Amino acid sequence: MKKILLSLSLLSTIGISITKAQYASEYDGGLVVKLNDDGSKFIRFILWGQTWFQDYEGKNVNDGFSIKRARVLAYSQINDRFMILTHFGANGIYDHNLTPTGKSNDVSMFLHEMFLQYKVTDNLAIGAGINNYGGISRGNGQGSINMLMLDNNRADWTTLGLSDQFANHLGLFAKGRFGKLNYRVALSDALTNTLDGNSSTVIQNGQEKYLGKAILGEGKYAVSGYFDYQFLDQESNALPYRVGTYLGAKKVFNIGAGFFNQSNAIVKRENDNLIGEDVTHLAVDVFYDAPIGKSSSVTAYAKYQNSAMGDSYLQGNVVGSGNQFSGHVGYLLPKNIEEGKHKYRNRIQPYVGYSYRDFKGLIKPANELKLGGNWYIDGQNSKISIEYQKSFDQPKNMDDMITIQAMILL
Q: What is the pLDDT of residue 352?
A: 98
What pLDDT, on a 0 to 100 scale, did the predictor assign at position 324? 98
> What is the C-alpha separation between 349 and 240, in angstroms, rounded?
25
Q: What is the pLDDT of residues 119-144, one digit of tens each?
A: 999 999 999 999 999 999 999 999 99
Q: What is the pLDDT of residues 349-375, one digit of tens each?
A: 999 999 999 999 999 999 999 999 999
Give 318's DSSP letter. Answer: T
Element (H, E) at 259: strand 252-270
C-alpha–C-alpha distance, residues 159 and 223, integer Å: 12
223 in helix, strand or coil? strand
Nearest CA among 120, 149, 153 for reference residue 136: 153
DSSP assigned state of 155: G
Asked if 44 contacts 29 with a C-beta cutoff of 8 angstroms, the reply is: no
H/E element holding 283? strand 273-292
Of the candidates 229, 116, 240, the residue with the CA atom closest to the CA atom of residue 179 = 229
DSSP 100-147: TTS--SSS--EEEEEEEEEEEETTEEEEEEEE--S-S-TGGGB-SSS-
pTM value?
0.93
- Binned at pLDDT 50, 70 and 90, residue 399 comes out as confident
Q: What CA–CA distance (Å, rounded) separates 323 from 369?
A: 18
Looking at the chain, how many residues does it have? 410
Mean pLDDT on 68-96:
95
Rounded Cα gap, residues 383 and 226, in angstroms: 30
Q: Where are the alpha helices (DSSP H) in 55-112?
A: none
Strand locations in 321-399, DSSP E?
A: 322-332, 347-359, 366-376, 382-391
CA 248, 250, 252, 256 torsion: positive or negative?
negative
Contacts of 5 (CB under 8 A, 6+ apart): none
Q: Give the pLDDT band (50/70/90) at residue 20.
A: low
Q: How far is CA 47 from the centre of its chain?
A: 16
Across the range 148-161, mean pLDDT stands at 96
DSSP 8-state class, residue 150: S
